[in-house]
Amino acid sequence: MPTEPAPTAEYPAAEPGPEADDDRRGPRKLTVTRVAAMRGRELTGRGIATFRRAAEADGADKSGLTALTYATMANFALDAAIAVALANTLFFASATAESKSKVALYLLITIAPFAIIAPLIGPALDRLQRGRRLALASSFAARAVVAVVLIFSMGSWVLYPLALCMMVLSKSFAVLKSAVTPRVLPPDIDLVRTNSRLTVFGLVGGTLGAGGLAGVAAAIAGSTGALIFATGIAVGGAYLSWKIPRWVEITEGEVPTTLGYHRHRPEDETPEDEDAAIPARKRRQPLGRAVVTGLWGNGSIRVLTGFLTFYVAFVAKATEHRPVQQAAMLGLVGAAAAIGNFAGNATGARLRLGRPSLIVVNCTMGCTVVAVAALILDNLLGAALAALVAAGASALAKVSLDAAIQDDLPPESIASGFGRSETVLQLSWVIGGAGGVLLPTDYWKGFAVVSAVLAAGLVQTVVSYRGHSLLPGLGGHRPLHAGQEIPHHDHPPQGDAAR
């Protein structure tokens, strides 16, 4: 083997480098700080790698689901940051017996417009032939602008309409996301598990992670710090939304869904070739009985979850004057809701959903029972128990509704069906939240009202499940799988008896 030549005048010996100096001095001293930093970098790298593997699993990176997952996490994160920023400035700071009438007036001004806007989101989405990515990104960009305005409007009455803008834009993103999800579905997983995955990522990476960071920002710089943090999230969310693949824009052949149903009449039959000539966007796909049952049940449950979101904060402020006790009450109920949410999503992801509408009926019944139990207990324990069961039932019932939509609707109507259903659920949550602010802060009074609402919703859910309805046109007087309603110039709209 060749050997290196001995050092000569022509080939002097190489000068020792810094590594040689380190060898002579011995290894660098490892301090506790350096060890902790090295260990932190290692754990962070492993965590990021694990997160990316989970987000890209099952072909999600190729289908576009990963990009939608990141945008969904940003939406959860932005909601959490805004909640932290306004917690002590908006509702919670005003939650005293003396200011209830003032808050109720502001709530009427802010919630009433949303109650009018929400039913219009679904039909508007159906008419949105192009620009779904732009609509998702715009929902973030608009919230970034509102967050900047909020920074300069703290302590003003403008907070309430600005909070409404944040609420409407957040709910609009949720509706748009539901309509986009079927377009980025990986081949190896179904819509039910896809929606569960999006929720879990949103809760863990968005609500918990960003909520904690927003809390730190608020502790350092107050609500302004949290709003600055929220502005950054909104800008990032707009960018992530635009990174969703272009194929979510393809809506050719989609048939919009409708909550109404027109019973089939034999004299309305027309030749199939005439039906085929009618454009898809002019057709309508009624929702089947299982989906309508799911909507009634989920809507009733969302009334309870929206109610608890605001009601416990008002009760804590009105009954406990010590900040530590207030925080303890909110922490207990919030922890119960978080545990229930995770348990519901985990159960739904593993459960065989053979009869999803029956699961929805049972979840609605469980929420009604726990609301009555909270009414009887008349204390914080009852509220925490209600939050635990309501969060779990809400997650499980939503998974069951997703399964019913996937089974009931043809592929060309699934995106519209998810958009319509999400609109109904968001509106139900807002109605419950309004009750949480307007109702008296005595436990038994608040839970008496919400128990009555849940009981009525349970009755309608059960009746719809059995093929009947208390409300004509919005219940079970329809087949399990309704056919498309095709408009004709000479005939009124009709639907097939079954598909």
What is the maximum span of the chain, computed from C-alpha positions, in angstroms?
Answer: 111
Q: With contact defined as beta carbons under 8 Å apart, do 165 and 142 qualify?
A: yes
Beta bridge partners of 258: 286
| Residue 207 CA, distance from chain mean position | 10
Which amino acid is present at 370?
V
Which positions ≥6 away from 105 have C-beta within 8 Å? Answer: none
What's the average model confidence in pLDDT over 376-401? 90
CA torsion sign for 380, 386, 389, 390 is negative
Q: With contact defined as beta carbons under 8 Å apart, do 487 and 499 qualify?
A: no
CA pair distance 165, 170, nearest whole angstrom:
8
Q: Does the domain spanning 289-477 belong to CATH 3.40.50.80? A: no
3-state secondary structure labels for all residues of 142-177: HHHHHHHHHHCCCCCCCHHHHHHHHHHHHHHHHHHH
DSSP letter, residue 481: S
Q: Which residue has the higher pLDDT, 293 or 262?
A: 293
**110-132 residues labelled b (16+ CB within 10 A) or e (exposed):** bbeebeebbeebbeebbebeeeb
| Total Cβ atoms within 10 A of residue 262 | 17
pLDDT in tens, 305-364: 989 887 887 787 777 656 667 677 777 887 888 888 878 877 776 777 678 889 999 999
CA pair distance 184, 421, nearest whole angstrom:
19
Which amino acid is present at 250?
I
Q: Which residue has the higher pLDDT, 371 or 151?
A: 371
Q: What is the pLDDT of residue 47?
A: 64
Task: Find where tokens 């209830």 sit.
Answer: 100
Highest mean pLDDT among 144-153, 361-370, 415-424: 361-370
Q: Decide whether 60-247 matches 289-477 in CATH topology.
A: yes
Instruction: Give the DSSP per-residue string, 251-282.
Output: -TT---EES------GGG---HHHHHTS-GGG
CA pair distance 414, 420, nearest whole angstrom:
10
pLDDT in tens, 18-68: 555 544 554 456 676 776 677 667 666 676 777 677 766 767 778 788 888
Q: With contact defined as beta carbons under 8 Å apart, do 58 and 189 qualify?
A: yes
Domain ranges within the chain, ordered by starting residue? 60-247, 289-477
Residue 284 three-state SS? strand
| Residue 26 CA, distance from chain mean position | 56
What's the average model confidence in pLDDT over 377-392? 89
Q: What does CATH list as the number for 60-247?
A: 1.20.1250.20
